[in-house]
C-alpha cells in the first residue's frame, strides 16, 4: 500500500502531457499483452483493447473475460494499477476544469472570439448595458475589462472577464480588441475627482485608437468641456452622463411623461425602438421615404443626427444618408429585408 501511495504521489506531480503519455502507453501495452496471452479469447487486437478499457473503467460487461492463469493475473494487475491510473486521469481532468473556472472568475483567460462588444469599467451602468445588449443581440459575446479581481457576471457564459488596467496593451490584447465590434468606456465611479475620471477614459481611448483604430468607441464623459480632448482621440460617440440625467429630470418635472417616452426609446425591453435602415432605391426625397415607411408601420425620425427632416420632405436624400426610424422589431425586420 505504501508503494502504491508513493507512485500515486509522484504521478500527481507530473505534467498533464507526461501523465497522458503514460496512460496511453499503459493501455496499449496491456492490450498487446492481453491479445498475446489469449488470442483465441479476444479474436482481434481491438477486442482486447475494448476489454482493457472496460476493465479499467470498472464496467465489466462480461462479453470478454480471461480464461487462462496468465490472463487472470493480467486482469488482477489491471484492477490494481489500471483503475488507479484511470482515476488519476479523471482527477486531473476535473482539476483542470476547476482551474479553468478559477482563472475565468479571476479574469486571467484571454478571449479568442470576434465581433464582440467590450465594456470597460464595471458599474451599475455597465451591468444595465449587458442586459440591453443581450436583449438586442441574444447571442452577442461581451468582454468586460475591469481592475476588480472577480468576474461580476460569472453565471452568464456569454460574458467574458479580463482583469487588469484597461489602458494597458496586454490587457486590451487579452480582450482581443482588434477583432471587437465596439468598445464602450464607462466613467470609473471609484475615482472621486471628475477630471481624473475623464483623464482615465481618455487614456483608455488613446490605447484603443493606437491598437485598433477601426473599433467603434463610445465614451461616457463627466465634464462637457473635456469633449474637445476626446475628439482629438477620434472617439465615435460621446455620452455626457450628468447632462443626460439633468435633462431627463427637468423634462420629467416640466413635461409629464416625457422621460418615460425617452426611456422606452432607449430600451429594447419595450415594443418600439429606434433602428437604422438602409436607403431603398425607390426613395428619391425624404417625403417619399417618409410616406412609404408610414404605410409600412414605421416613422422616419432622422438622417444621422438631423431630427428636422420632416421639414425637408421635398429635399433629395443624399447618397451617404443614414436613416433612422421608430418601429417595433417585426416591422423593422420586414423593412430591412426589403
DSSP string, 282-311: T--BHHHHHHHHHHTT-EEEEETTB--GGG
Whether residue 254 has pLDDT greater than 90: no
Q: Note the pTM of the prediction, 2 decimals.
A: 0.62
pLDDT tens profile 98-139: 888 888 888 899 999 999 999 999 988 899 889 888 877 888
The length of the chain is 338
Highest mean predicted confidence (pLDDT) among 84-93, 99-108, 209-218, 245-254 = 209-218
Note the pLDDT of residue 1.
46
The band of 317, judged by pLDDT with boundaries at 50, 70 and 90, is very high
CA 53 to chain centre: 38
Out of 32-36, 44-48, 77-81, pick the least confident.
77-81
With a cut of 80, say whether residue 25 has pLDDT above it. yes
pLDDT at 249: 55
Task: Between 60 and 166, name the one with better pLDDT.
Answer: 166
- CATH 1.10.287.70: does it fit domain 2-99? yes
Residue with cell 464496467: 59
What average pLDDT does range 279-301 have in this prediction? 90
Of 110 and 265, the one with more pLDDT: 110
73 pLDDT more than 70: yes
**Cell of residue 214, nine digits:** 477601426
Q: Tell me whether the CATH fold assigned to 2-99 matches the one assigned to 117-245.
A: no
How much is the average pLDDT of 253-263? 57
User: Of the spans 65-69, 248-252, 289-293, which averages the highest pLDDT?
Assistant: 289-293
Predicted confidence band of residue 172 (pLDDT cuts 50, 70, 90): very high
More confidently predicted of 269 and 137: 137
Q: Which fold has domain 117-245?
A: Rossmann fold (3.40.50)
List of residues 6+ apart from 266 with CB closer than 8 A: none
- Residue spans per domain, the chain: 2-99, 117-245, 271-337
Q: How far is it, in rounded angstroms, from Cα 217 to Cα 24?
A: 50
| Higher per-residue pLDDT: 143 or 138 | 143
Separation of alpha carbons 167 and 147, rounded Å:
11
d(CA 71, CA 96): 35
Judged by DSSP in three states, 167 sits in: coil
Amino acid at each position: 500500500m505504501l508503494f502504491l501511495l508513493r507512485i500515486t504521489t509522484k504521478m500527481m506531480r507530473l505534467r498533464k502531457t507526461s501523465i497522458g503519455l503514460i496512460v496511453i502507453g499503459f493501455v496499449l501495452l496491456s492490450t498487446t499483452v492481453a491479445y498475446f496471452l489469449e488470442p483465441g479469447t479476444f479474436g482481434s487486437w481491438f477486442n482486447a483493447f475494448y476489454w482493457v478499457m472496460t476493465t479499467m473503467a470498472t464496467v465489466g460487461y462480461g462479453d470478454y473475460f480471461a480464461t487462462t492463469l496468465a490472463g487472470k493475473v493480467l486482469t488482477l494487475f489491471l484492477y490494481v494499477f489500471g483503475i488507479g491510473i484511470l482515476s488519476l486521469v479523471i482527477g486531473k481532468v476535473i482539476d483542470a476544469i476547476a482551474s479553468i473556472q478559477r482563472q475565468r472568475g479571476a479574469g486571467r483567460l484571454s478571449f479568442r472570439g470576434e465581433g464582440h462588444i467590450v465594456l470597460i469599467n464595471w458599474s451599475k451602468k455597465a451591468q444595465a448595458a449587458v442586459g440591453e445588449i443581450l436583449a438586442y443581440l441574444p447571442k452577442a459575446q461581451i468582454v468586460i475589462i475591469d481592475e476588480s479581481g472577480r468576474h461580476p457576471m460569472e453565471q452568464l457564459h456569454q460574458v467574458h472577464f479580463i482583469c487588469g488596467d484597461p489602458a494597458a496593451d496586454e490587457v486590451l490584447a487579452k480582450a482581443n480588441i482588434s477583432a471587437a465590434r465596439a468598445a464602450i468606456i464607462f466613467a470609473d465611479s471609484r475615482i472621486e475627482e471628475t477630471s481624473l475620471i475623464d483623464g482615465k477614459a481618455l487614456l483608455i481611448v488613446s490605447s484603443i485608437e493606437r491598437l485598433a483604430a477601426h473599433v467603434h468607441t463610445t465614451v461616457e464623459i463627466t465634464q462637457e468641456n473635456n469633449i474637445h480632448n476626446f475628439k482629438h482621440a477620434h472617439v465615435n460617440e460621446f455620452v455626457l452622463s450628468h447632462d443626460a440625467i439633468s435633462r431627463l429630470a427637468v423634462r420629467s418635472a416640466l413635461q409629464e411623461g416625457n422621460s418615460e417616452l425617452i426611456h422606452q426609446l432607449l430600451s429594447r425591453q419595450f415594443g418600439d425602438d429606434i433602428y437604422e435602415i438602409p436607403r431603398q432605391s425607390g426613395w428619391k426625397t425624404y417625403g417619399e421615404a417618409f410616406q412609404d415607411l408610414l404605410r409600412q408601420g414605421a416613422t422616419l425620425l432622422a438622417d444621422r443626427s438631423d431630427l428636422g427632416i420632416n421639414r425637408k420632405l421635398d429635399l433629395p436624400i443624399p447618397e451617404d444618408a443614414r436613416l433612422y426610424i421608430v418601429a417595433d422589431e417585426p416591422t423593422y425586420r420586414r423593412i430591412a429585408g426589403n
